[in-house]
Structure 1
């Protein structure tokens, strides 16, 4: 008798896992991403699996890390099959149809929550590459009133508008352009300025924030535009930030989010194609940021953070010293459980930890003058000089499994080595 057992080796994958195999998931513990989502089908075996399957949906291989195939051979000792279930999202706000002009790209000026802007700038590209500006978009008339054609010498394929009415675009021949003199009183601007592309690279998508411009080239490299100032909004040069990036979105507060095929600084087993990442350390003194924070993966194709205009909460400043602190990394959303070194908590005045007095010199003092300057001689509690060495709990220790977000949620069922008797 031959067959398979569910007794796996300690180094094998979980019997039930997510599509990557590194996070344990079962049918009963996998739920829709949020209350707005609901299941529309039951769990079913997925036969449309890369590499093919047998009639029961199984794939076979010599071991889990190697390539799987649909036909079992004598050298195959493990098998797997994938289960899928569909869900849908139900939203309350209805869609209002705008006059039917087929669009290939659209961009809306990200406005801050406290903005008093009367009209919201909206730009778009038709499926033929024509540049269009939507007029009359207001809170009372969000669909706007009409399209205004903005002349170009060639078709465009990507467009974005950011703070200060900065309009950047990429033509189909991969040339980069900046639209000059765009303002609330002159929504279409005056003329196009050609911007040189990075050396030996062709850009295909860009996104403009409050004070920054990022772009992705045909080789999936992420570029940052240096030297942007109010007096010279075209900038001076392109700087390479990262590779393996397929999409970028910059928010109204210069937040940078990308979709990457490999997450820089993330363990290779957690880096999967289509992962969502967030740029850490972005600020006035470091506009291009410092590092990447792994968010969620994988299989994502599009991302937008243009609507997030809320300032992030900042840590309370320290009671002593004015040395700038490096920004704290955001908590990972899903399966990244890499141990992080604990960051020391900032001391508060309400703790019960004994404090050492400020003046620890016990050498005899010279007599005080007859008329003391301060007559209150009660001991004063000293302010801690960051010397409290009580153990702190690490900030990033939440390893609670998160719910996967994709509308089509895959599960992977594993079985271990075959046995014969």
Structure 2
């Protein structure tokens, strides 16, 4: 394949590039998650913060990963213990995960330290309110290092940076079809918004958006590169705003 053909192939796979309008938000975080109008994040010391207006408010406890969505606020700490925020307090949930996602339709999902993929159905997710409440996690086939859910399905990436979609996911059947659809491209993390939009970051720190996602076509049609100043390592989208954490832990609030 000559150089010109290779360039055309890359353009076909990655789509167009769109410039983002971004503002830097005061503070420093290593991971951020937004959903249902709320913003949560954790810093390098695993301290937990939520944004109220323009002010970051520190929450009790420590987490290495936090997630907010229709399922509430969930997180995982450095020991891979799982927690749910209940009445302003973190309540431990049975099980172990290194990354948890609360973006599903009142169910949660995540991956553990062995890249095994799990989900917890709506009844157990919504009903979980106290220590030692039942948490019957379902294990999905395959292995992923990051997993995120929304109204049109769940997306994940594996250790080879391959991208996969699980369709047919519902609040009472969080495992979906149990058949993974491989999506073209390479990413190291991926996040699904409450509205079903999908964004991700590749190994080079570039940000991408999946276009053409609908209820009838949850896989979408292609990727668009979003031009953000510098290198990125984490993204999350809600209500028209793409929140980006840069390689230097800067917090950016971006709009297209």
* TM-score, reference length from structure 1: 0.42
Q: How many residues align?
A: 194
Residue correspondence of structure 1 range 12-411 to structure 2 within 5 A: 33-34=22-23, 93-99=54-60, 101-110=61-70, 121-136=72-87, 144=88, 146-152=89-95, 155-180=96-121, 181-187=123-129, 190-197=135-142, 202-235=143-176, 236-261=178-203, 273-297=204-228, 299-305=231-237, 307-308=238-239
- Rounded Cα–Cα distance in structure 1 between residues aligned with 2:190 and 2:214: 18
- Rounded Cα–Cα distance in structure 2 between residues aligned with 1:175 and 1:109: 22
- Rounded Cα–Cα distance in structure 1 between residues aligned with 2:199 and 2:213: 11
- Rounded Cα–Cα distance in structure 2 between residues aligned with 1:221 and 1:177: 18
Contact 2:152 2:214 in 1 (8 A): no
Name whichever of 224-233 and 203-212 sits farther off.
Answer: 224-233
Contact 2:109 2:149 in 1 (8 A): yes
Deviation at 1:179, TM superposition (A): 1.2
Deviation at 1:294, TM superposition (A): 1.5
Deviation at 1:285, TM superposition (A): 1.2
What is the root-mean-square deviation in Å for CA atoms of aligned residues?
2.8
Unaligned runs of 5+ in 1: 1-31, 38-90, 111-119, 137-143, 262-272, 311-404, 409-421
Structure number with larger C-alpha Rg: 1
Cα displacement string for residues 231-266 of structure 1 (whole angstroms, at most 9, x for unaligned residues): 5321121111133211111100110011124xxxxx
- Rounded Cα–Cα distance in structure 2 between residues aligned with 1:35 and 1:105: 21
Contact 2:107 2:171 in 1 (8 A): no
Deviation at 1:34, TM superposition (A): 3.9
The alpha-carbon distance between structure 1 residues 406 and 162, as it changes in their structure 2 partners (threshold 3 A), is closer
Q: Secondary structure at the match of 1:293?
A: strand
Q: Secondary structure at the match of 2:233?
A: coil
The structure that is strand-richer by fraction is: 2
* TM-score, reference length from structure 2: 0.67
Deviation at 1:207, TM superposition (A): 1.1
Deviation at 1:33, TM superposition (A): 4.9
Deviation at 1:95, TM superposition (A): 2.2
